[in-house]
Each structure stands twice: as C-alpha cells, then as structure tokens.
Amino acid sequence: MKILLVGEYSRLHNSLKEGLVALGHEVTLIAAGDFFKNFPADLKLKRRFDSGFSRKIKIGIHLLSGFDITSYDLKRQFFNYAGSLKNYDVVQLINEKPIGVALPYERAIVQFLKKHNKKLFLLCCGTDYLSITYAHDKKYRYSVLTPYFEDKISAKKFQHVLKPLQPNYLAHHQFIFNHIEGVVASDIDYHLPMLDHSKYLGLIPNPINLEKIEFIENRIEDKIVIFHGINRQNFYKKGNDFFEKALEIIAEKFQHKVEIKVTENVPYQTYIESYNTAHIFLDMVYAYDQGYNALEAMAKGKVVFTGAEREFLEYYNLAENEVCINALPDVDYLVEKLSWLIENPSKIEEIGKNARKFIEEHHDYRKVAQQYFEVWRD
C-alpha cells in the first residue's frame, strides 16, 4: 500500500510508519512535530511565531483582528506540499485536528485529502470531541477533566483541553466523521467513548519500535531510582501534583534507600534517555490505559505508575500489578504502592520483566502495523 500519515502525537505515527515500512509498504509522514517534542517527519511543518518577540507580535495581531498567523503559516506550508499529498491508497489523520491549526483550515486540509486520495481514516489521540464529551459527562470514574471539576485549574488555563466542548467544535467533529471511512482507538480511554459508534473500527494498541528501545534489567545495587518527568503545560491534567506530594513523603520516609530524579519540558530524545538508570517511572494519574511515555518506559523494563484500570486488565486478561501499577489520584495510595515496591525490590525486577513481555506481545510495531493494514484493507 501507499500510505500517508497526517499529524503526530507522542511518536505514534513515527512508530507506525516504521512498522509499515518493515512490512513493505510505502509511507509518508507529514507533521509539525507535536510542539516541543519535535518528532521527525518526511514532510516537516515548522510551527513559527510561538516564542520570543514574534510571539508578542502574533498575540497582538490576534487580539486586534482574530487572525492566527501560526495557523495560517502552517496551512500555507501544508499546501506547498500539495503535489506530494495525492494518490495514496490510505490517509490516516492522527486526530480531529491533525495539523493543529484553526478549524476552518483543518477542514480545508481534510477536504483536500479526501478529494485526492482513496480512503481516509481517523485515529483517536489527544483531546477530541467524543472523549472530552464523555469525560465532561462524567462517564469515566475520573478523567483528564477531574482537576478542572475540582477547581485546580481555571477554564482559561485549561482551554486547550476544553476546546472540543465549544459550540463550533461539534460541527467540525461532524465534518470530519462525514469524510472518513472509519475511526480507530489507540487505547482503552478512547475505546470506551467509541463503543457502539457506527464508524468505530476497534482498538489497535499503540505501536512501539522495540528495536530502538533496549530492555534494561532492574538490578538494584544501591538506591532505588524513581523518575518523574513533568510537562508543566499538562501538570494537573497528568496528576503531577499527586506524584509530587507522594515523592515528598517517600523522600523523607526512605531517604537512604531512594534517589528521585525530576525533569521538566525537555525534548523527546533527551527525555527518553534521562530515565535509563531509573527503576520506577511515574507517568500519569488520570487514565485507564497507558499512553506513549508509559509504554516506552515499560519496554525498557521500568515499573510504571500509569493507567491500568480494571477495564484495561480485563481487556488484556491481566492481574493487578502484573505489568504496571495503576496510578490513582490519591497521595496515600501512591505512597503505599511506592513503599511496597521499595520494601519488596524483587517485585521491581518481576514487574519490569513482565512489562517488557507485555509490550512485545501486544505493542510490537510490526504486529500493530499489520493490524492497521488489515483494517484499512477491509
């Protein structure tokens, strides 16, 4: 097949591309790199006017006229590649806003891709209409909107998450779904809102390129190293406040047994290398399943605190604490789980090995790529 992947989110499309290429398909990726993570792409779109003096000019123009110069510039760059974006067997959008521009520009891009290619598919990633509406209606036991409901963050500061709830977004969502063949969920958090939807094609796990991620056995020769990576923009959305409070207690309780490493807002390559020496990896709280950071850490053999709710355990037929630790928005619970691992270091080694095995079985990039191929082909 000749395949075009549009947009990037936490390296998903890069890993999928690598799997598809390994299976013999011809694949092109066009994307803006997922903000500061700066992932590569075959056709790279540069997000400009987002820092320094140019950002001040951009904000001024937007306040005066409502014109978003970054959106316009990205749309212009996209259509400069128009000749390279036609005649594909399959086009897949990373989400309902694959380029990250103003909604009218996104619709123009989708309309172009639909017109000039055979099949158009959508992936559920990030914040989209169905998952955020599901969360807003409190159909999850907890979700990325929980800190908003608890007044930890204002609507203004959380606007990037709440955008799908705006009246104009429903029309955008309907437009996208009217143009696609079907939609795929990448994990349980997106699977649940999609159940019974007429265009839902099923859950296909996130692809992980295991050839690029070395398994590191959890040998504990001195202190147990706990890693906490923070993205300040998503601080409350990821539940980092619970992790920070739990780590303060753990640092005091086990001051001679643990070392705590913290990084903030670093590029992807720096980030993924910074926790190589860690035994325990703190990912996120408000999730039922694992996102990309958690999966890559599990592939390395880390014991990851992340989403592992009963829906996830039942779907994959797993026991509690078998491949990772379910992270709940509860400081006492997190302290209890961390203490259990520190006091039972053999469990760190056992869970780390199980984690790698789980990734090999369910998330190997070639196996996942084959699942996508079968869905697209049908």
Closest CA to 266 of 314, 217, 230, 293: 230
pLDDT at residue 176 greater than cutoff 70: yes
pLDDT level of residue 69 (50, 70, 90 thresholds): confident
295-321 pLDDT tens trace: 999 999 999 999 999 999 999 999 999
- Where would I find the H helices in 66-186? 69-80, 103-116, 129-136, 146-149, 159-162, 167-179
pLDDT at residue 236 greater than cutoff 70: yes
Greatest mean pLDDT among 37-46, 57-66, 235-244, 335-344 lies in: 335-344
pLDDT at residue 64 greater than cutoff 80: no
333-364 pLDDT tens trace: 999 999 999 999 999 999 999 999 999 999 99
Between CA 109 and CA 115 the distance in angstroms is 10
Q: Which residue has the higher pLDDT, 273 or 79?
A: 79
pLDDT at residue 231 greater than cutoff 90: no
- Counting residues of the chain whose pLDDT is more than 70, the rounded percentage is 99
* pLDDT reported for residue 302: 97
Helix (H, G, I), strand (E, B) or coil at 185: strand
Between CA 276 and CA 188 the distance in angstroms is 27
Q: Evaluate whether 2-207+365-377 and 224-362 have a shared fold.
A: yes
Name residue, tokens 């792409």: 41
Mean pLDDT value across residues 323-338: 98
User: Which residues neighbour 310 within 8 Å (Cβ) at sequence distance 6 or greater?
Assistant: none
139-169 pLDDT tens trace: 999 999 999 999 999 998 888 899 999 989 9
* pLDDT reported for residue 17: 98
- Counting residues of the chain whose pLDDT is more than 90, the rounded percentage is 79
pLDDT level of residue 52 (50, 70, 90 thresholds): confident
Choices 1.10.287, 1.10.357, 3.40.50, 2.60.40: CATH for 2-207+365-377: 3.40.50
pLDDT at residue 265 greater than cutoff 80: no
Tokens representing 245 are 């409070």
Please state the domain extents for the chain.
Answer: 2-207+365-377, 224-362
Closest CA to 73 of 99, 111, 96: 99
User: Which residues neighbour 177 within 8 Å (Cβ) at sequence distance 6 or greater?
Assistant: 122, 183, 199
Q: Which residue has the higher pLDDT, 130 or 70?
A: 130
* pLDDT reported for residue 349: 96
Mean pLDDT value across residues 162-185: 96
89-137 pLDDT tens trace: 999 999 999 999 999 999 999 999 999 999 999 999 888 999 999 999 9
pLDDT level of residue 48 (50, 70, 90 thresholds): confident
pLDDT at residue 67 greater than cutoff 80: no
77-93 pLDDT tens trace: 999 999 999 999 999 99
* pLDDT reported for residue 39: 87
Which pTM value belongs to this model?
0.91
* pLDDT reported for residue 36: 65
Name residue, tokens 């001679």: 256
Choices 3.40.50.2000, 3.10.450.50, 3.40.1360.10, 3.90.1150.10: CATH for 224-362: 3.40.50.2000
Between CA 9 and CA 322 the distance in angstroms is 27
Mean pLDDT value across residues 17-46: 91
Mean pLDDT value across residues 241-253: 97
